Structure 1
Amino acid sequence: MDFSGKTVIVTGAGKGIGRATALMLVRRGAKVVALSRSPADLEALAAETGCATITVDLADAQATRAAALAALPADYLINCAGTTELQSFLDVSVENFDLLYAVNARAPMIVAQEYARDRVKRGAKGAIVNISSVASFVGIPDHAAYCASKGALDGLSRVMATELGAMGIRINGVHPIVTATPMAVKAWSDPEKAAGMLSRIPVGRFAEPDDIAEVILFLLSDAAAMVNGLSMPVDGGFMIA
């Protein structure tokens, strides 16, 4: 897949899947506008790729909208930023619930709104990939707010696909299994917990960031021109096991 001459906004580009996707896009000719909360991560990414960077805390709605506007114009958008807090349903706090919704559901909405408004104004087609999780399909212990926020993102993606598809902008969701990222280390560092999840994945391993990035790029590309509204598990068969 060749993205020469294309500009792609990638949120959460400082680490994990977002970083891997940004690197892959640059290798395939794209200009990347990378958004992240960490200036140090963005500086390292820019030094490696020459991409444009915007530092933003996506939990801040006003700052998120300003960053989205500053990133435009762009041909494609990848909403990859996400966060989690490990709390059971009985223990989840309102503060953490609101934080996860802000970053995992509200921020993708805001960035996608500004991206789509700009594409429509230009009379241009486009594509958005929202990075969700298999956690939106299953109830994972201690992930109450995370599962809920990713389910909210899925509902938003379906409405976006219905409304924006008619305007030439495709929206698809990617749902990774546990992926070797800093956030996954935080959530799955307990060997017993990790072993229980691994036992349910037929291919016998967790995902690598590049496994997910390849699927993201396919869904952005013209090769997926008739793919709209998809919720695509990238899970090694977890959902059928």
Structure 2
Amino acid sequence: MLPRAPDFRIDGRRALVTGAGRGIGLAAAAALAQAGAEVTLAARSEPELREACAQIRAEGGRCSRLVLDVTDAKAVEAALSTAGPFQVLVNNAGLNRPKLLVDVEDADIDAVFDLNVKAAFYVTRSVARGLLAAGLPGSIVNVSSQMGVVGSPRRSLYCASKHAMEGMTKALAWELGHANIRVNTVCPTFIETAMTAGMFADPAFRAWVVERIALGRLGRVEEIMGAIVFLASDASSLMTGSALMLDGGWSAA
């Protein structure tokens, strides 16, 4: 008898996506909804969440919104302890303040680590508590970066935060694996979004980036969606503690 191909559908599973109002977060939420999940979109901007949910519902997806500051540990626990359990989590909320090391201020360090590391920890902790209490399996997907495995000028702070996320992911894969809760990262290269448009308006910077991508172009948010669904679904059932590179070959150099 031939083995059966894995199922990429996640029908009936509840999913939570942070930073879901736009960009990669919205793409991740849309991908999960299209794969059958009931998706909760979390972010600080209620108008963005309302519009995002409206778009997902217009395509037949199931969606709810949660206005939440994920850097507030108490607010995260209060909201997610009642809204969960979630069998899929996409930790997408993030921030970058590219500067030379000597120009980085304490406020920059606090802001980047509060959102990129501590908030991901808060949300993951709450979601894991819910899954363990309910005895449910789950998949946690941390949106990291190619900068989580390499270094780059003017990104010492961002690299530090994403390397921390990679370490957290590996540790949690071991800690939660016994409960069939998988933890992985996706590591995109530079993606064209509204947030990055200002950076790429500089022809010199755009050329510097493209020269370092083997495919010779920037990434698109649509190119993150398949990886999110793969990691959320049973198609990746043997994968945990891994970094899925979506870097166009940047880290292959």
TM-score (norm 1): 0.95
| In structure 2, C-alpha distance between the alignment counterparts of 1:61 and 1:99, rounded to whole Å | 15
Per-residue deviation, 1:114: 1.0
| In structure 2, C-alpha distance between the alignment counterparts of 1:71 and 1:207, rounded to whole Å | 33
SS of the residue 1:227 aligns to: coil
| In structure 1, C-alpha distance between the alignment counterparts of 2:202 and 2:81, rounded to whole Å | 40
Per the alignment, residue 210 of structure 2 pairs with 198
SS of the residue 1:116 aligns to: helix
If you compute each CA radius of gyration, which structure gives the higher value, 1 or 2?
Answer: 2
Per-residue deviation, 1:64: 2.9
Per the alignment, residue 4 of structure 1 pairs with 11
Q: How many pairs does the alignment contain? A: 241
2:164 alignment partner AA: A
> Which deviates more from structure 2 when the two are superposed, residues 168-177 or residues 143-152?
143-152
Question: How well do the aligned residues superpose, as a CA RMSD in angstroms?
Answer: 1.4
Which one of 92, 107, 116 corresponds to residue 80 of structure 1? Answer: 92
1:40 aligns with 2:47: yes
SS of the residue 2:195 aligns to: helix
Per the alignment, residue 63 of structure 1 pairs with 75
Which one of 115, 122, 126 corresponds to residue 138 of structure 2? Answer: 126
Per the alignment, residue 104 of structure 1 pairs with 116
| In structure 2, C-alpha distance between the alignment counterparts of 1:188 and 1:6, rounded to whole Å | 37
Per-residue deviation, 1:233: 1.1
Contact (CA 8 Å) 2:35, 2:229: kept in 1 or not? no
Contact (CA 8 Å) 1:9, 1:71: kept in 2 or not? no
Alpha-carbon spacing, 1:177–1:103, altered in 2? closer, same or farther (3 Å): same
1:94 aligns with 2:106: yes
Q: How does 1:170-185 map to 2 (within 5 A)?
A: 170-185=182-197
SS of the residue 2:152 aligns to: coil
Alpha-carbon spacing, 1:45–1:224, altered in 2? closer, same or farther (3 Å): same
TM-score (norm 2): 0.91
Contact (CA 8 Å) 2:142, 2:169: kept in 1 or not? yes
> Which deviates more from structure 2 when the two are superposed, residues 42-51 or residues 186-195?
186-195
Contact (CA 8 Å) 2:117, 2:164: kept in 1 or not? yes
Which one of 25, 31, 54 corresponds to residue 24 of structure 1? Answer: 31
Which one of 219, 235, 240 corresponds to residue 207 of structure 1? Answer: 219
Per-residue deviation, 1:86: 2.3
Per-residue deviation, 1:186: 4.2
Provide, for residues 29-67 of structure 1, a one-character-per-residue CA deviation record: whole Å limited to 9, x for no partner: 211000012111101012122411111222333223333
Q: Percent identity?
A: 36
